[in-house]
Structure 1
Amino acid sequence: MPRPENGAPRAGGVQSLHRALDLVEVVAGPGGHQTRGEIATVAGLPLPTTHRLLRTLVDRGYMRQMPNRRYALGFRLVPLGAAAMTMVGTDTEVVLAGLVDALGETANLAVLSGSHAEYVAQVPSRHTMRTFTEVGRQVDLHSTGVGKALLGQLADGRAREIVRRVGLHQQTEHTLVTEEALLADLALVRSRGYALDEQEQEAGVRCVAVPLGPEPMSWMAVSVSGPVTRMTDELVERAVPLLQQAGRQLTSRMLSSD
């Protein structure tokens, strides 16, 4: 079966739907407009299957075939994307940009999406060497700052149930790969009010994250991330109160826009 970006196997679901969405993500990725054969190769699917799925997506407006027979994203996705963005508030990037101005590193907003964390907004650092994550990308909960901040809002039993759906995949030598280690780390998250990714998702990258809250916004988390050479303990100490303030601002703005 196809695998998401983090390399973990699909956690069940309808295979044909997974495949159709894989095609959308392939066409949305680097390279722009692509031929049917190129799409099939990247997605790892047989050409006849790719053809059938593309025709269905074209019929529904989620994909379009250009005069040169290459495929591009369809305009039916535009209103869906706009509707999704209303969930994170119109001023989200302003708040994230404030974190970038104050700390110099990339700021992110993520939500709990099934058994993963999903990035829904980002303002990148202005440094040449910086972290970057595509909006819409899903990542493991157990190996990311935002993921552990989100898990920390749940009881241990519920957190264990969620991570067992996909497993504790080892991304780097620093990844927590046992439930005991993860639950111990989540206890720290709850006691100190923030989560750390100590090169657990990607070697050389450190992240600090806090959950938005209280309810009903505890399913979201805000973070800053960057190279370990710049994400020092001193910067993390400065970042935590700023992240908490940003979380309060985001919560207030989202609830007032409902």
Structure 2
Amino acid sequence: MANGASVQSVDRAIDLLEIMTDLGGDAALSELAAAAELPLPTIHRLMRTLVVRGYARQLPSRRYTLGPRLIRLGESAGRQLGASARPHLERLARELGETANLAMIDRDMAVYVAQASSSHSMRMFTEVGRRVYCHCTGVGKMVLAELPDRTIREIVGRVGMPPATDLSITNVDDLLTEMTTIREQGYAVDDGEQEIGVRCFAVPVKDAPTPTALSVSGPAARVTYEFGETALPLLHEAAKAISAELLSAG
């Protein structure tokens, strides 16, 4: 919402981009008008400007979708977020002895933006920049849980739910049931769903520019549920520290 120190048209344009994001990345003009509580001519004028600048585009169906120029901004923001979060990941890896990761949702997938590796010879190798399906990873399920169920259905409808292992969730209704559990408990678990023999605990990073998750992962023999009881408070503490830094930077 606009305030005394802001420019109203800029506020409104950013609101529209955020509304489209919340709606799954595309929306009709009427949906944007209803969500923004603005008249259609105003919405049309703002969207036309965003289309010209490449921050939105209009589909043949006349619906609007997020534009390609946002990809470059998102990648840059992801790198900056990863750089600022790295000290917290290094501390987690040092205290817990396992690999710590930071990931965010981007174009319907979870992308790893920072990592601090375990000191063990047998450890997780998830390179920064790797994109993974959200339904079968700890960080992916955590970022999905930050979104409305309708948006989750739309994401799954676009990218599918291919199984990474026999333990992967492959039904959207089962996924939504797990989303309820994740929201209630405040963390997500990947128990061999991305890679057999690997377990991951993930928590949300609030106030990030897009749904973001912090995780620790490693061989299930070491990353047990008892390990999780120790790891989760540290993960939440680190996530709050990262969130506080994001707020102070803004």
Smaller-chain TM-score bracket? 0.5 to 0.7
The match for 2:179 is: 186
Q: Encode CA deviations 1:200-236: one digit per residue, 9 max, x unaligned.
A: 01111110101111x4556111000000100111111
Q: Show the 5 A alignment for 1:1-258.
A: 83-84=76-77, 87-88=80-81, 90-213=83-206, 215-217=207-209, 219-258=211-250
Separation (CA, whole Å) in 2 of partners of 1:99 and 1:156: 31
Separation (CA, whole Å) in 2 of partners of 1:233 and 1:141: 22
How far has the Cα of 1:113 moved from its partner?
A: 0.4
- Residues 147/83 of structure 1: CA separation in 2 closer, same or farther (3 Å cut): closer
Separation (CA, whole Å) in 1 of partners of 2:109 and 2:83: 24
Separation (CA, whole Å) in 1 of partners of 2:249 and 2:135: 31
Separation (CA, whole Å) in 1 of partners of 2:148 and 2:102: 22
The match for 1:50 is: none
| TM-score using structure 2 length | 0.67
- Residues 81/191 of structure 1: CA separation in 2 closer, same or farther (3 Å cut): closer
Report if the CA contact (8 A) 1:105-1:125 is conserved. Answer: yes
Q: Encode CA deviations 1:222-253: one digit per residue, 9 max, x unaligned.
A: 00000010011111111111111111111122
- Residues 171/85 of structure 1: CA separation in 2 closer, same or farther (3 Å cut): closer
Q: Encode CA deviations 1:139-195: one digit per residue, 9 max, x unaligned.
A: 000000000000101111111111111101011010000011111111110010000
Separation (CA, whole Å) in 2 of partners of 1:113 and 1:256: 24
* SS class of match (1:149): helix
Report if the CA contact (8 A) 1:206-1:231 is conserved. Answer: yes
| Structural RMSD (CA) | 2.0
The aligned amino acid for 2:127 is E
* SS class of match (2:122): coil
How far has the Cα of 1:107 moved from its partner?
A: 0.1
* SS class of match (1:91): helix
Percentage of pairs with the same residue? 46
Runs of 4+ in 1 over 2 A off after TM superposition: 80-87, 215-218, 254-258
Number of matched residues? 178
The match for 1:10 is: none
Separation (CA, whole Å) in 2 of partners of 1:235 and 1:204: 15
Separation (CA, whole Å) in 2 of partners of 1:225 and 1:186: 20
The match for 1:76 is: none
- Residues 83/149 of structure 1: CA separation in 2 closer, same or farther (3 Å cut): closer
Structure with the higher helix share, 1 or 2: 2
The aligned amino acid for 1:124 is S
The aligned amino acid for 2:174 is A
Q: Encode CA deviations 1:41-85: one digit per residue, 9 max, x unaligned.
A: xxxxxxxxxxxxxxxxxxxxxxxxxxxxxxxxxxxxxxx999556
Separation (CA, whole Å) in 1 of partners of 2:152 and 2:243: 23
| TM-score using structure 1 length | 0.65
The aligned amino acid for 2:232 is V
